[in-house]
Chain A
Amino acid sequence: MSQLDIEALKKEWVGVQFEERSFVLDPQNMAEYASACGEVAACYTDPTDPDFQAPPTFASSLQRGRGLPEHFPKMPGLGMDAGKAVEAFAPIRPGPKTSRTHMHDIYAKTGRSGRMIFLVIRMALYDPDGTHVANADTRVVIRERPTEEDQA
């Protein structure tokens, strides 16, 4: 078996949306999240504050459900959470939201211990009026097992 063709994988899967969810953000959960993280300002911890909102990283907690697209090729190793990123465009307020998740990027890095494949999965978060509130990225890293050809 040869190594995965990253360019072919990118061509087929980058940009593919594989999940859309609708849900309602509960102000009490948002306030508890903020307090547990160490936030102290009322705009994050008190749902009665007129500017109440979640800290932007709350968006990362909304990335749930299917981790990869259906029929995505089996990866040649165990996937691990390598990191997360959030881009904030508008405050995250309580109430209804929609998220759409797509495969944002696929790339590989090669080091002394072999090749690592990175999958970047992006969830975009929207208000009911279509306002793009935030992007939350998850980077999954897979350390590729050496193939028989590599070991020969």
Chain B
Amino acid sequence: MSVATVREVTFGEELPVFDPDTSLDNVIRFTEAAGWRGPRFTDHEAARKEGLPGALVPGIMSQGFLCAMIHRWAPPAQIVEVDTVFRAPVIVDQTYHINGVVTDVDETEGRVEVDLTVTNEKGETRVFGTAKVKLPV
């Protein structure tokens, strides 16, 4: 069930897990739309020649996944601030899960804070972030 107002949000609530599309086709689509073309993002072999484990999901795409997850959970959410830390590479064509938990709720101002983590199938954190969100009161 999606969230419509801040009164429906509880401290400690976990957001529905979001598994982003990290397929090569989708990453190519993203890099073309964002104007961030480059073989390290769109070609596994070219990325390996640079010493990388495979083509990389751009950091700005991981950041975009976090926003999409919040909007899916709470469609009227206005994301006021999102801060993302890139701890380790996110590799194209691998499976990742994004988890989120509500860490602060201000019902009067309609403000919510959410901690977000992108983990791989081994449970290792690759990216984490914090978002400040405004919701209808």
Q: Report A's interface with B, CB cutoff 8 A.
A: 29-30, 32-41, 44, 55-58, 60-61, 64, 81-88
List the A residue with the shortest CB-CB distance to B86.
Answer: A83
List the A residue with the shortest CB-CB distance to B27.
Answer: A36
Whether A60 contacts B60 in the complex (CB less than 8 A), given A32-B32, A88-B78, comes out as yes
1/0 per position for B1-44, CB-CB distance to A under 8 A? 00000000000000000101100001101101111100000000
Is the contact region of chain B dominated by helix, strand, or loop, or is it mixed? helix
Q: Within the complex, what minimum Cβ distance (angstroms) separates A150 from chain B?
A: 26
When distances are taken between beta carbons in the complex, the residues of chain B under 8 Å from A85 are 81-84
The answer on a CB contact under 8 Å between B67 and A57 is: yes
List the A residue with the shortest CB-CB distance to B75.
Answer: A41
The answer on a CB contact under 8 Å between A41 and B71 is: yes
Verify if B59 is at the interface (C-beta below 8 Å from A).
yes
When distances are taken between beta carbons in the complex, the residues of chain B under 8 Å from A83 are 59, 83-86
The answer on a CB contact under 8 Å between B67 and A39 is: yes
Name 10 interchain pairs, CB-CB below 8 A, sorted by A. A32-B33, A33-B34, A36-B21, A36-B33, A37-B67, A38-B21, A39-B67, A40-B68, A55-B71, A88-B81
The answer on a CB contact under 8 Å between A55 and B79 is: yes
User: Which residue of the partner chain, among B21, B75, B79, contacts A56 with CB atoms under 8 Å?
Assistant: B79
Whether A32 contacts B69 in the complex (CB less than 8 A), given A81-B59, A85-B82, comes out as no
Number of contact residues on B: which range applies?
20 to 34
User: Which residue of the partner chain, among A32, A56, A87, contacts B67 with CB atoms under 8 Å?
Assistant: A56
Which one of B20, B27, B35, B67 has the greatest number of beta carbons of chain A within 10 Å? B67
1/0 per position for B100-120, CB-CB distance to A under 8 A? 000000000000000000000
When distances are taken between beta carbons in the complex, the residues of chain B under 8 Å from A44 are 71
